[in-house]
Chains A and B, each alone.
Chain A
Amino acid sequence: MMRFRWMLAVLTVALWAGSVQGASSLSALGFGLLRESAGARSAGMGFVSLAVPDSLGLNLLAPALWDGPATARFGFQGAVVSTRTSDEVYGSDDSDEAGLRGVAMALPIGRGRFLGLAVTPYTRMDYEWEVWRSTEWSRVLERSEGSGGVAQGLLALATPVGRGIRLGLSSRAIFGKVDRSWRAEFPGVAANPAEEFISDRFKGIGWGLSWSWVGAAGLSVGGCVTGPVRMEIQQEETIYSGWSEQVDTTRELDEDYDLPWDVAIGVSRRFGPHLTAVELAWHGWDAVSHPESMADGFTDAFRLSAGWEWSPEYRQFDPFWRALVFRGGGYLQEHYVLSSSGHQSRRVAVTGGISIPYFAGKSRLDIALEMGWSGSRSQDGVAERSLTLAVGVNHSEKWFVGRRR
């Protein structure tokens, strides 16, 4: 009971914390890198997850993989991202973010079935900068700020449909708010500052389908399809003269801000304590109309991931380090927005991680580290390096296991 209360308290606090998704300068309008997050275990394996069975963790992309004993599952992960970006115009700057990368909960509702809820950040924006300019009559200090993002909520059902085959059905809600402001001040001169404040509220609903098959000889195959989401965006624009509100308009944007089709497939094979997996994902951004304010367009983006995991066999009283699980991997991902030069940049990353099981294997702490490189100054005009530390906690409770009479 104490453990449950502890987990519930941490989960409650965690839900109030901001979520994190490393914003990328290679995206326009602060949409971010749109990196799927399947869990900290996946983060240590090059983001392969669709064909990696997990009897404890809750895969945030493929609910079909929610399997194992009929225990209630809780999971959440956080991450710290440190990014250095440099371009041809402004030089370079560093940013750091920390926060949640997803929370999930699933309850067993029958033999091998789970019903669950998950929330993950989809994009995130957090920027603040100022620059001095000169006009014909004064120097101007321009301040730009932006914060917010879009999150994704999943309501999913995982169920077995055949020998070794599982299916996951999910409804997907997209919601969020992004606030951006631009302010011009004229220090040293008696002049009114001008400020534009734009608040965009997003909402949309879609669906997802995932499946997995665990066969003989340690072979597993899995995949997922995510349907497009028609986004409704309500934009409020406020313009201030000095501290007085001069304009306040709210309108529904009729531009096509859809989220596209996503299709992914993965294969894994276990060789004793070693597990290897590869995965291919496709995001159909080319079919999505980009906003008029974007000079560049969307384009289809692929991701190729490969991962490895080593799981030792250990006994209850073995030393601590004998229970650790080690992971490694990497991925190559194309960016979904073309650079100003028309080039589609790529992101390359290497990952590593460990897992620490506890409570006799009913819970698990995952830690993952990723080093990534995106874009190039020569081809894209901007380059980015990032270091990400992700931590995930997966916990299960025996709430629904009946007592034998």
Chain B
Amino acid sequence: MLSHNTIICRSAVFLTVLGLLMTGCAEPDGAVGSSVGVDLGGRFAWDSFHADADTSYAAPQSGTGGSPHLYVGRAFGITAEPLLRFNKPPEPWPIDWWVDSARIDVHYQGGISDDDFPPLEGFVIDLAWREAEPPEWGSLPGGAPVEVRIDYAQPDSGSAAFILPPEMVANWLSWVDSSLIDTSWHDTTRADSGLTLCIYPTPVGCPTRLARLRSRSALEDSLRPRLSVFITARDSAGGELHPDTLQATPSDDLFLIQNDETDTGDRLVIGSGAVFRSLLRFDVSRMWTLTDSLHIVVNRAIMTLHRDRSPYPWASVTRSVFPFKLTDDRWLTEPDSAQIAGFVITPTVVDTSADSLQIVVTGPVAGWIADPECNHGLALYSGSEGLDIDRIAFYSMRAPEPLRPRLTIYWTEFPK
């Protein structure tokens, strides 16, 4: 039988351990039990602000690589000329070969404006370039012209073939071929190891149309540009001659743009292809007055732009817009000198049926509230810049009141 002392000792230990365990099972007070918060917490507020400076400008023409399309033609002040570059078709190569013929096939579908497909000219040029370092407009050298055959499968889609001189292709392949017995021959005058085709709309009598060619990024492999070299070959010394075909898709392709109509009037224009960018700055000085007595946490900031649908009826509507912070105020006098700083954002998708666009700009606005010196405004870029030709226009600060750009800030304030 246990003694009193043993019972008590064990009970005391049990109760102590139980109490410690129950410490972990505590249920804290709720809103009723605590009745606290009288001196803690913020107050929600919001306000709207108008722009005190805005403008648009046409960015210097730039080539567009990585695009799913290559535009060619001349319309609405825009001239487009695609470039395609091919590397030597991949090995294995036969031991002996002769070029019988060669061609580059491109496919097209649709375009901008309803005019006819433009007649084209093709030139093979020797130019060292890549999509990441596009050549400037007007810097292309002269080259060897090639025959162009355009096949119309349907009125708005079809293919074009550029027939390449066999001798030119053979020279090019020999220059890069390391399988020939005589390796002493080497053309040191070539600037690039690739073969570049430049396509131009004809200078005279060109319809007002920007045709859309499929690029090397086309989803269907059969629609991508393709170099085909038809050869007679021998696979071994003394072997039988037989025909063969070597093919390659472009290693790089892009289209150069020249824009002759850069005036945006009193609108804010954003576009790609012939690039347009908009810059605007909002007067948020009222917020800085609040920071004297309050800590401000910006919860959300929305910039609202109202669409002006009247200009550019011919263009595709820009599908997305990127906002960037501007780093200084030089753009106020020289818009095309605007310098941007990236901030982590996702593009704002444009609802083409809506009359306004709302862009979340919480990050930059929070920075302006914290440091007024940082308020240099925002730059708006097309999300497809370098990939397509599109436009979207908005009313500027010079428009009637309801249509002006507006910045709405929602914040939580805490007394200091």
- Tell yes or no: A257 within 8 A of B by CB: no
Complex partner residue of A129 from B5, B31, B414, CB under 8 angstroms: B31
- Tell yes or no: B34 within 8 A of A by CB: yes
Q: A93-B32, A129-B30, A137-B300 are in contact. Are A246 and B370 (CB under 8 A)?
A: yes
- Asked whether A293 lies within 8 Å of B32 as measured between CB atoms, the reply is no
Q: A90-B32, A140-B44, A382-B35 are in contact. Are A190 and B362 (CB under 8 A)?
A: yes
**A29 — which chain B residues lie within 8 A by C-beta?**
36, 38-39
- Tell yes or no: B37 within 8 A of A by CB: yes
Interface of B is mostly: mixed
Q: Cα distance A138–B414 when bound, in Å?
A: 19
- Tell yes or no: B19 within 8 A of A by CB: yes
Q: Cα distance A202–B355 when bound, in Å?
A: 58
- Tell yes or no: A363 within 8 A of B by CB: yes
**B410 — which chain A residues lie within 8 A by C-beta?**
135, 137-138, 191
- Tell yes or no: A379 within 8 A of B by CB: no
- Tell yes or no: B33 within 8 A of A by CB: yes
Complex partner residue of B27 from A95, A142, A146, CB under 8 angstroms: A95
- Interface size in chain B (residues, C-beta < 8 A): 46
**A162 — which chain B residues lie within 8 A by C-beta?**
none
Complex partner residue of B29 from A28, A78, A93, A363, CB under 8 angstroms: A93
Interface of A is mostly: strand
- Asked whether A190 lies within 8 Å of B37 as measured between CB atoms, the reply is no
**A96 — which chain B residues lie within 8 A by C-beta?**
25-27
- Tell yes or no: A131 within 8 A of B by CB: yes
- Tell yes or no: A136 within 8 A of B by CB: yes
- Tell yes or no: B9 within 8 A of A by CB: yes
- Tell yes or no: B366 within 8 A of A by CB: yes
- Tell yes or no: A158 within 8 A of B by CB: no
**A239 — which chain B residues lie within 8 A by C-beta?**
295, 297, 414
**B8 — which chain A residues lie within 8 A by C-beta?**
356-359, 363, 365
Q: Determine how close the nearest CB of chain A comes to the CB of B8; give it in whole angstroms.
A: 3
Q: A182-B37, A194-B297 are in contact. Are A359 and B32 (CB under 8 A)?
A: no
- Tell yes or no: A391 within 8 A of B by CB: yes
- Asked whether A182 lies within 8 Å of B20 as measured between CB atoms, the reply is no
Q: Cα distance A127–B29 when bound, in Å?
A: 4
**B5 — which chain A residues lie within 8 A by C-beta?**
358-360
**B15 — which chain A residues lie within 8 A by C-beta?**
78, 365, 391
- Asked whether B31 lies within 8 Å of A131 as measured between CB atoms, the reply is yes
Complex partner residue of B37 from A83, A98, A144, A186, CB under 8 angstroms: A144
- Tell yes or no: A289 within 8 A of B by CB: no
Q: Cα distance A401–B299 when bound, in Å?
A: 70
Q: Determine how close the nearest CB of chain A comes to the CB of B279; give it in whole angstroms.
A: 24
Q: Determine how close the nearest CB of chain B comes to the CB of A340; give it in whole angstroms.
A: 10
Q: A23-B29, A323-B4 are in contact. Are A98 and B23 (CB under 8 A)?
A: yes
Interface residues in chain A, defined as those with a beta carbon under 8 Å from any beta carbon in chain B: 10, 13-14, 17-18, 20, 23, 25-30, 78-80, 83, 85-87, 90-100, 125-129, 131, 135-138, 140, 142, 144, 146-147, 180-182, 184, 186, 189-194, 196, 198, 239-241, 246-247, 291, 293-295, 320, 323, 356-360, 363, 365, 382, 384, 391, 393
Interface residues in chain B, defined as those with a beta carbon under 8 Å from any beta carbon in chain A: 4-5, 7-9, 11-13, 15-16, 19-20, 22-23, 25-42, 44, 46, 295, 297-300, 360, 362, 366, 370, 410, 412, 414
